[in-house]
Amino acid sequence: MFDVVLPMVLFFVTAATLYVHSKYEMRGESIFEERKLDYRYAVIMVVATGIMASVLLLIPDKAVMIFFMSTYSLLLFLFTYLVAPKWYLSFLPPALFITIFFSPYWMFNVFGVYWIFNVFGIVFAILVSVLLGSLFEWKTTAVFVALITIIDVVQVLVTGHMVESGRILVELRLPVMIILPTFPYIGGLFALGLGDFFLSGLLSIQTAQKYGRKLGLASAMAIAVVFLVFQTVLLNLNVQAFPATVIVISGWLITLAAQYFYQSNRLKHG
């Protein structure tokens, strides 16, 4: 049995991230005054992520909800200001998000899909990817990728805190995952955290900036294909949890390896 839905969604979300970043890259750089974050910020972000996965298990539910709602609202405000630099318009998307979140239709299930929940999750993944894609450099990304993979492996396979934290956040109805039914395998649900969508988008953005948009899109495709292969194995082995950062990074490294061999052959025969 296998599933094509989640790998396809992963590809299209990453491709959309590339498009949005290319469209608003100059505007983002002007807002951030072309500042770039060095590797120290990457280390801090990864350490904070690892700690948060464990701390969430100890924080009261209402405090967790307030923190994440505030973070999501700030992201929506910042990106709206990036697109339409008028502060009064930037309040509208956060207000819409909060209104829908507390409506009875937020987790409304249609054909096994939590549509509004997933839509906001995808929007947040794209926003984070685009914003950090404008702030990260290639070396910063490399440090971030290496460290976040280590943290993810430890927190998923060793402590299990990442899995438990994700479960708690979903129970609080916070859009921290994309949850979709499987197809052609019928009867199952597969979930992928927003962090993995964000990582796929960030890596593809950085690849596009360094090697061009075509390779950035090729990176998105490679990540989706590798995800399809890994997901098929996990479904057939009935594995409940696996650090998806390993899958995303594997697809990205395959793209870089292909680019390296392509350039080497060109130099050799040039």
> What is the reported pLDDT for 31?
62
For the chain, list the strands marked E by DSSP. 109-110, 113-114, 177-181, 189-193
> What is the reported pLDDT for 269?
67
Task: Mark out the alpha helices in 33-137 (DSSP H runs).
Answer: 39-55, 61-83, 87-90, 92-101, 115-135
> What is the reported pLDDT for 266?
74
> What is the reported pLDDT for 16?
96
What's the DSSP call for residue 178? E
Q: How many domains does the chain have?
A: 1
Distances (CA, A) of 212 to 18, 29, 225, 235, 251: 11, 18, 20, 35, 17
Question: What is the DSSP secondary-structure string of 60-87?
Answer: -HHHHHHHHHHHHHHHHHHHHHHHS--H
For the chain, state the CA radius of gyration: 19
> What is the reported pLDDT for 85?
76
The residues, ordered by sequence, that sit 6+ positions from 238 with a Cβ below 8 Å of its Cβ are none
Tens-digit pLDDT profile for residues 112-142: 578 888 999 999 999 999 988 888 889 999 9
Answer whether 45's CB lies under 8 Å from 146's CB.
Answer: no
* Structural domain boundaries, residue 191: 5-269
Beta bridge partners of 179: 191
CB count in 10 Å sphere of residue 141 = 24
State the pTM of this model: 0.92
Only one residue has tokens 């949850």, namely 179
Rounded Cα distance, 130 and 119, in Å: 17
Rounded Cα distance, 193 and 168, in Å: 13
Rounded Cα distance, 45 and 126, in Å: 18
Angle, to 10 degrees, between the axis of helix 115-135 and the axis of helix 92-101?
A: 140
Only one residue has tokens 């594995």, namely 239
Low-confidence ranges of the chain (pLDDT < 50): none
